[in-house]
Amino acid sequence: MMDRPESLGQPVQIRGLEKSYGGTRILQSLSLDIPAGCFCTLLGASGSGKSTILKLIAGFETPDGGEILVQGQDLSRVPVHRRQIGMVFQNYALFPHMSVHENVAFGLKMRRIPRAERESRVGEALEMVGLKEFGHRYPRDLSGGQQQRVALARALVIRPRILLMDEPLGALDRGLRQGLQQQIRDIQQRLGMTTVFVTHDQEEALQMSDMIVLMRGGQIEQLGSPREIYSQPKNRFVARFLDDCNFMSLQNRNVSIRPQHVRVGSSAHVADHVMSGRVESMIFLGTYRRISLTVAGETMTARLSSENMEEFVVGQDTPVGFMESDVMPLEEI
C-alpha cells in the first residue's frame, strides 16, 4: 500500500451493537474492528442491516445497546453535528439551492473557518475530485457522476475522522461506476481515510475494499480481505454471494468450486479429480462459455475461457475435473 504521511483516518471499534425497529431486530450484538485507514465494505442484501450500522455511526439513529468508539472515544454523547464524520448519501443529498462551491463550503462555514482558509480548502477539495471549474454551477446542472464527486468533496473538506458512504454509486450506470470506483479508491488511499462503504454489489466490494464484511440478518457472516472472502468462503451463502459456485461432497468433505476452475473435455484428464458428466446446455458469453453439466445426478456449471476452442454438443458425455488446489472446503453448509 501507499505510504501515508499525514493519515486522517482513525480506527473504529463497534462493540455489541443492538438495534430494533418496532419489534424487528435489525442488528444483533454486532462487533467489528476497523483499523485506521482501512477501506471497509459492508456487503449484504437489502435488509441485512448494513445501512443501519452507517446510520448509527453517523448518529442519525440511536442504538438500543452497545457502543461505537472512534479513536477510543465513545460517540454516544456526541451529537450528530459535532461528530466530525463525513457522509456521502445514496442520492447525494446536495443542497439544491446552493452552488457547488457553496455546498462544499457549507461544513466549513458551520465550523466558522475564516474565509481565506475556507476558499483554499474548497478549491483543494474540488480539485481533488476534478471539478475545479464547476464551483459556480448548481447541482441540477451536473451529471450524476459529477454530483457524486461534489458530495465526496463536501464530505472530505471538513477533514472527517471517518468517511461513510451509503451505496454512493447505486444510481449511476455501469461505465461511470467503474471510473468513479477507481477515483474514490485513489482519493481514499491518498488521504489514508478510514472509510465505511455500504453496497449490495459484490463486484464493487471486491474491487474497492481492504476488508469486506458480509452481512446477513443483522449479523456478520464472514469478514476478511477480498481475496480471503472470495477464495476461502466459510459456507455456501458466502461462496454464492460473491460469485457463481458449485457445491459437492468430496471424500466426506463439503466443498465448493468456482465454475472457472471446472475443466471439461480433454483438459479434464490431467485434473486431480476426474468424473464423468453430460453436457446439458451451452451459452456463449463473449469472454467465456458457460456449460451446464450433469455429474453424478447433480448439476454443475463450468466456465470455459474463449481460448478453449474444443467443441461440445448438448447430450454429449465428457470427462469433468478440477484441481485439488482449487477446491474450497466449507466449514459449514
Partner 1 sequence: MKPLALPSGSRWSAAHLCGLSVVLVPTCFLAVLFIWPVLRLLALGFGDEAGPFHSYLRVFTVPAYREAILTTFEIAIAVTVLSVMLAYPVAYLMATVSPRMARLIGIGVLLPFWTSALVRTTAWIMLLERYGILNSVLMRAHLIRHPVAFVYNMSGVLIGMSHVLMPFVVFPLYTAFRGLDRNLVQAAMLLGAGPLTLCRKIFIPLTAPGALAGANIVFMSALGYYITPALMGGPAQTMVSQLISFNVSEQLDWGMAGALSGVMLVLTLAAFFLCRGVLEKRLKRRVVTAARPYGEGLSGRSGAGWGMVIAGCAVMVFLLAPIVIVFPMSVSASPILMFPPHGLSFRWYHELLSRPQWAGAFFNSLKVALIAVPVATVLGTLAAIGLARMKGTFAQILEGLFILPMVVPAIILAVGLYYQLTPLGLTRGYWGLGLGQAVIAMPFVFLTVQATLRGFSRDLELAAMSLGAGWFSVMGRIVLPALMPAIVSGAIFAFITSFDDVILALFLTDVRARTLSRLIYENVLQDVSPTITAVAVLVIVLTLGLLLSSLLFQREKS
> Which positions touch partner 1 (CB under 8 A)?
16, 18, 58-67, 75-87, 89-91, 93, 95-97, 106-107, 110-111, 154-155, 158
Cell 472472502 -> residue: 229
**Between 150 and 239, CB nearer to partner 1:** 150
Q: How far apart are CA 103 and CA 88, in angstroms?
A: 13
CB nearer partner 1, residue 95 or residue 269: 95
**Nearest to partner 1 of 144, 319 (CB atom):** 144
| Alpha-carbon gap, residue 195 to 188, rounded angstroms | 8
Pick the closest to residue 107 from 95, 91, 90 (CA basis): 95
Residue (141 or 331) nearer to partner 1, CB: 141
Q: How far apart are CA 35 and CA 29, in angstroms?
A: 20
Q: C-beta of 70: minimal distance to partner 1 in Å?
A: 14
Residue 302: beta bridge partners? 291
- Cβ 7 to partner 1, closest distance in Å? 21
- State the nearest-atom distance from the C-beta of 32 to partner 1, in Å: 16
Nearest distance in Å: CB 83, partner 1: 7
Nearest distance in Å: CB 303, partner 1: 36
Minimum CB distance to partner 1 smaller for 16 or for 179 = 16
Do β-strands 162-166 and 85-88 pair in parallel, antiparallel, or remain unpaired?
A: parallel
Take residue 50 and report the three cell numbers written for it. 448494513
Q: Check: CB of residue 210 under 8 Å from CB of residue 227.
A: no
Closest to partner 1 by CB, 31 vs 306, is: 31
Per-position DSSP letters for 173-190, written without gaps between them = -HHHHHHHHHHHHHHHHH
Q: Work out how close the CB of 332 gets to partner 1 at its nearest, in angstroms, rounded to a whole number.
A: 27
Contact 193, 8 (CB under 8 A): yes
